[in-house]
Structure 1
């Protein structure tokens, strides 16, 4: 079972969350790590970035440091549902979830036969996030979920305004935004009141600013990011953490047509995501490119589109 120390509950939850954000997120996305607070809490420099195997028992730094025995989140023993598990980052998140000690992983894909099933803890399920009936069947099947990871995505790899048809762009919005919304709506009641519950939305650095020739994809991820921010506030009183993940370019099947230097291995990205969850990070930038973009966004939000434009060959 996963556990985390939450900002508060009940009538004071939103006020507590606002104070929590003020302490931990002094910049637009909370990208500057609170190393000073960690040191005040008794951590040495060597333990500021522990591996995900060592994060059980660690707690997030706080202005009034939490006792050492208070855990922010422990992934060992958790039941996790991951959408888009048949390939790419989703498939890698399944494997990394087993490594951190998940008790059970519902590996969801439109065709469950495409899901790797080489461990008894993996439970393949058929799920089309664009189909409300399919989502409802998944909700009925996965009633013991602790952590929902919304990873399923669509990428058209085309300029929207030059496209002959808008169908690919509509598919991106249907999958990346409405599919994510549908999953959150279905599973928020399942997670409510469950100790250590979390919704993890895999977004993109393109959620922060438009990338040329990926305009509709970025728009769908930006919509999901805006929804994620609102959902975090709405679920504060229920105790469910809402986490946003902003990956950079990953070496996956979906991104292959856009290959660039600096693409990051999916295995390392998945491990970094679980590390961030264990630390209790509300925003996770799981690779060096994403971290660089986050720093640029924190310093000059309006200049980020220009930086993206300059990165296009």
Structure 2
């Protein structure tokens, strides 16, 4: 799949990795980019990247009715980028841990599931296309300081595998991207090396073009997955030291 022939939709496009995806798509020559966010005003800087091809769309991925309305209006997408997500803090025993977990699962897991269910038929009618799901190294190892976030990303990893199997027959490539810490507001308190959002976005798009189902876009991600192959328990113990305060 060539990015310069794509019409893409990016969720959570107003900042961080989502904005970087819009930039990377523009640089790669994408034909049209639907940039979505809950608040249209937050997309002004994103639209300015290329006003002639970037179309702002109001979308809250936790609102199934709104997703259906958007899908009915946008029928030319052949690349769906599920980037929108939320991150709480604290472990499983924080006072508000249940509410935090429900919030994260509603967005990171169920919101992505809603999006895929709505847009999979559109991808099919447009030749199959591709889906990018933004996962995390915490999809494969729990980081206790973000315990329920890790659990939501683990659920999203399983979702990615499941929809990949179900959508293979319609020719849809489903790509999971597993970054380590990225230099965004969301990861401000993470005590690890951080990587620029554009690096993650460019690696993900390259993965689509090469037909790769799993993308490890930075050195931390690559080290974690190499470690899991060799000694998964050692990786678990390594991250177990990152306890909530």
Q: Same fold (TM over 0.5)?
A: yes
Is the CA contact 1:160–1:213 (under 8 Å) kept in the aligned structure 2?
A: no
User: Quick check: 1:246 aligned with 2:178?
Assistant: yes
**What's the TM-score, normalizing by structure 1?**
0.74
Partner Cα separation in structure 2 for residue 126 and residue 285 of structure 1? 30
CA gap of 1:301–1:193, structure 2 versus 1, over 3 A, is farther
Partner Cα separation in structure 1 for residue 38 and residue 170 of structure 2? 30
**What's the TM-score, normalizing by structure 2?**
0.93
Name which of 47, 59, 68 aligns with 1:127: 59
Is the CA contact 2:144–2:242 (under 8 Å) kept in the aligned structure 1?
A: no
* 2:216 alignment counterpart: 285
Q: How does 1:71-86 map to 2 (within 5 A)?
A: 73-86=1-14
Name which of 271, 283, 300 aligns with 2:202: 271
User: Quick check: 1:299 aligned with 2:227?
Assistant: no
How much does 1:187 deviate?
0.5
Partner Cα separation in structure 1 for residue 41 and residue 222 of structure 2? 35
How much does 1:165 deviate?
5.1
Partner Cα separation in structure 1 for residue 61 and residue 224 of structure 2? 29
Q: What is the DSSP-based 3-state SS (H/G/I as helix, E as strand, rest coil) of the residue aligned with 1:248? A: coil
Partner Cα separation in structure 1 for residue 62 and residue 158 of structure 2? 19
How much does 1:162 deviate?
2.0
* 2:42 alignment counterpart: 114
* 2:189 alignment counterpart: 257
Gapped regions of structure 2 (runs ≥ 5) = none
Is the CA contact 1:107–1:122 (under 8 Å) kept in the aligned structure 2?
A: yes
* 1:41 alignment counterpart: none
How much does 1:193 deviate?
4.4
Name which of 141, 152, 156 aligns with 2:88: 156
Partner Cα separation in structure 2 for residue 164 and residue 197 of structure 1? 40
User: Which structure dedicates a bigger proportion of its chain to helix?
Assistant: 2
Deviations along 1:233-274, one digit per CA (max 9) or x if unpaired, are 11111111111111110001111132x341111122211111
CA gap of 1:165–1:222, structure 2 versus 1, over 3 A, is closer
* 2:28 alignment counterpart: 100
Q: Whose Rg is larger?
A: 1
* 1:56 alignment counterpart: none
* 1:50 alignment counterpart: none
Partner Cα separation in structure 2 for residue 250 and residue 165 of structure 1? 24
How much does 1:141 deviate?
2.1
Partner Cα separation in structure 1 for residue 128 and residue 65 of structure 2? 27
Is the CA contact 2:143–2:242 (under 8 Å) kept in the aligned structure 1?
A: no
Is the CA contact 1:84–1:152 (under 8 Å) kept in the aligned structure 2?
A: yes
CA gap of 1:292–1:142, structure 2 versus 1, over 3 A, is same
How much does 1:311 deviate?
5.7
Gapped regions of structure 1 (runs ≥ 5) = 1-72
